Amino acid sequence: MYFKQITTPGLGCFSYVIGCPAAGEMVVIDPKRDVQDYLDISREEGMKIVHVIDTHVHADHVSGAQELKSHTGCDILLYETSPVDYEFAPLKEGQRLVIGNAGLKVVHTPGHTPDALSLLVTDFTRGNEPWMLLTGDVLFVNDIGRPDLVGDTKLDEQIQNLWNTLYVKFSQYPDSLEVFPAHGAGSLCGRGMSSKPSSTLGFERRHNAMLRYESYEAFHLMMSQDFPARPKSFTHIIQTNTHGAPLLERCPLDLAMNPFKFEEKMQTGAIVIDVRDAAAYAGYHIPGSLNIGFEPSLANWVGMTVDPKSNILLVVESKDDYERMRIELHRIGYDNILGYLSGGIQAWVFSGRPVDNLYIDSAQSLQNCQDEGKDISLVDVRTPGEWHNGRIPGAINISLADILDGMFDLPDDAHHILYCAGGYRSNIAASYLQKHGYWNVRSLAGGYIAWNRAGYAIDK
């Protein structure tokens, strides 16, 4: 049996290839939208892609099922009650698929979504006993799937489904069964996933806190609260996966724009995302642009900040950065990428067009301001949990998610200094506020980490 886990950095997604070189066939499970990795495996290992399986209708990334079908003619397989608008081959509880010496058994595992499935995998060259369990989004390493994404009206039902799947259905399987989830650290489909890509059922039973509740009532209480903020992109991604993602060849052509053309597109309402690092953006940037720089969770922050249906323009430092950003955006269904500024920010500057800057304060300058009693507004944009674990004296907590949702009350003529853990989120927040008329906003270089390491007092 051939088995390979493929990681999608940033989104924390895992997809899988299971096949049999002797039979010349393979199956792809939960594919990402850019499918070249699977096509390369198919060619290099001499295995035809015969099926693609989505364990559920994903909320955090666009499925590559339609892309693979267009390239290979493979069947798309989903659980029989999956609420999608396109043609698929239905899978039933207990159904078995055989791919040469690999066997897959369908297990209906609702909880993250009502129509989710997991796959029991057997390598017949080793025996008839299942070797691993591909759990989709119902069970992760050190976490379980969040039940709230299908809406508040079904939350209680989904929590009950989670309990039945994890505590009742999975109880029949041995501790030795290996667990391979559809997500790891970085995903917003859970709350505290490990960076480890796999586990065993026995280890999770002993050490995963979400599998150690002694009563359904206690489990229900925990699963009814404190979910990560839901990005703007999730609803759009669910709709895209429900209707079947458009093929990437239908997306707008890549365009390298001169400043005149770039500005012309801006005037039609296109959103400008500047992907440079915080310091470069602070030096000078296009007025009204948003600073969302490259980091592992880039796609999640774009999903929080920008409407998925927006037309998007990019400020990058190279064509390679544009290609990287384009792939990241396509993975979360942001297809209206009009192009990028040819020559980067320097081309804009030398064209004589206006620029803004974003002042960056150091921990030392902030301390001096406080020592001198200067009138400043210090805003902590971290989550409430981070805030309660320690904060800079005098700060108020308005999370980035709340700022992006407009849930704040800040005077637009005051001097605001924003900080997060390391400076990334505060730059997003500051650029967003600057775009919306807050002229005197600044970001704290290095954020709370720099403040802490500078040796200043910590307020808890």
- The secondary structure of residue 358, as a DSSP letter, is -
End residue of a domain, out of 350, 374, 404: 350
Give dist(CA 34, CA 65) in Å, integer.
10
Tell me if 91 sits within 8 A of 10, measured CB to CB: no
Same-domain check for residues 68 and 195: yes
pLDDT given for residue 364 in this prediction: 93
Same-domain check for residues 133 and 257: no
Same-domain check for residues 428 and 319: no
Active site residue 420: yes
With bands split at pLDDT 50, 70 and 90, how would you rate the model's confidence at 118? very high
Q: Is residue 61 one of the residues assigned to a domain?
A: yes
The number of angstroms, rounded, from the C-alpha of 28 to the middle of its chain's C-alpha atoms is 20
pLDDT given for residue 458 in this prediction: 62
pLDDT given for residue 456 in this prediction: 78
pLDDT given for residue 423 in this prediction: 92
Tell me if 177 sits within 8 A of 199, measured CB to CB: no
Average pLDDT over residues 186-211: 89
Bridge partners of 418, per DSSP, are 379, 443
Listed range (106-115, 200-209, 411-420) with the worst mean pLDDT: 411-420
Q: Is residue 195 one of the residues assigned to a domain?
A: yes
Same-domain check for residues 197 and 303: no
Q: Listing from the earlier edge strand, what are the strands of the sheet with 396-397?
A: 360-361, 441-444, 416-419, 377-380, 396-397
Same-domain check for residues 97 and 124: yes
**343-399: pLDDT as tens digits:** 999 999 999 999 999 999 999 999 888 888 888 899 999 998 899 889 999 999 999
pLDDT given for residue 153 in this prediction: 83
End residue of a domain, out of 233, 261, 283: 233
Considering only CA atoms, which of 375, 382, 373, 391 is closest in space to residue 456?
391
Q: Is residue 87 one of the residues assigned to a domain?
A: yes
Q: Is residue 108 one of the residues assigned to a domain?
A: yes
Bridge partners of 346, per DSSP, are none
Same-domain check for residues 281 and 153: no
pLDDT given for residue 87 in this prediction: 96
Q: Listing from the earlier edge strand, what are the strands of the sheet with 178-181?
A: 96-99, 102-108, 117-123, 132-136, 178-181, 199-200
Residue 300 has pLDDT above 80, yes or no: yes
Average pLDDT over residues 132-160: 92
The tokens describing 282, both together, are: 């602070």
Q: Is residue 245 one of the residues assigned to a domain?
A: no
Question: Where do the H-state alpha helices sit in 138-182?
Answer: 155-163
Q: 338 is in which domain, residue-wise?
A: 251-350
pLDDT-above-90 percentage for the chain? 78
Phi-psi region of 436 (alpha: psi -120 to 50; beta: other; left: phi over 0): alpha
Same-domain check for residues 343 and 369: no
Same-domain check for residues 228 and 266: no
Tell me if 388 sits within 8 A of 294, measured CB to CB: no
Considering only CA atoms, which of 244, 245, 234, 247 is closest in space to residue 84?
244
Tell me if 145 sits within 8 A of 162, measured CB to CB: yes
Average pLDDT over residues 415-439: 93
Mean pLDDT of the chain: 93
**151-186: pLDDT as tens digits:** 888 899 999 999 999 999 999 999 999 999 999 887
The more confidently predicted of residues 367 and 457 is 367
Tell me if 452 sits within 8 A of 413, measured CB to CB: no
pLDDT given for residue 457 in this prediction: 60
- The secondary structure of residue 183, as a DSSP letter, is B
pLDDT given for residue 459 in this prediction: 64
Listed range (40-49, 61-70, 292-301, 422-431) with the worst mean pLDDT: 292-301
Residue 90 has pLDDT above 60, yes or no: yes
Question: For position 63, which CATH number holds?
Answer: 3.60.15.10
Q: Is residue 46 one of the residues assigned to a domain?
A: yes
Same-domain check for residues 51 and 22: yes
pLDDT given for residue 296 in this prediction: 76
Residue 190 has pLDDT above 80, yes or no: no
pLDDT given for residue 253 in this prediction: 63
Same-domain check for residues 173 and 211: yes
Average pLDDT over residues 53-64: 96
Q: Is residue 24 one of the residues assigned to a domain?
A: yes
Considering only CA atoms, which of 162, 82, 177 is closest in space to residue 120?
177
pLDDT given for residue 362 in this prediction: 93
Question: For position 317, which CATH number holds?
Answer: 3.40.250.10
The more confidently predicted of residues 374 and 283 is 283
Average pLDDT over residues 270-277: 95
The DSSP-derived string for 208-255 is -GGG--SSHHHHHHHTTS-PPPPPTHHHHHHHHHHH-PPPGGGSPPP-
Within 13 Å of residue 1, how many CA atoms lie on the same side as its CB?
23
Listed range (73-82, 98-107, 160-169, 246-255) with the worst mean pLDDT: 246-255
Q: Is residue 244 one of the residues assigned to a domain?
A: no
Question: Where do the H-state alpha helices sit in 29-177?
Answer: 36-45, 65-72, 155-163
Element containing residue 13 per DSSP (H, E): strand 13-20
Catalytic entry in 13, 20, 74, 420 = 420
The count of domains in the chain is 3
The tokens describing 301, both together, are: 């922050």
Same-domain check for residues 47 and 130: yes
Phi, psi (5° rounding) for residue 37?
Answer: -55, -45
Type of residue numbered 185: A
End residue of a domain, out of 350, 380, 403: 350
Question: Where do the H-state alpha helices sit in 49-148?
Answer: 65-72
Same-domain check for residues 141 and 50: yes
Residue 460 has pLDDT above 60, yes or no: no
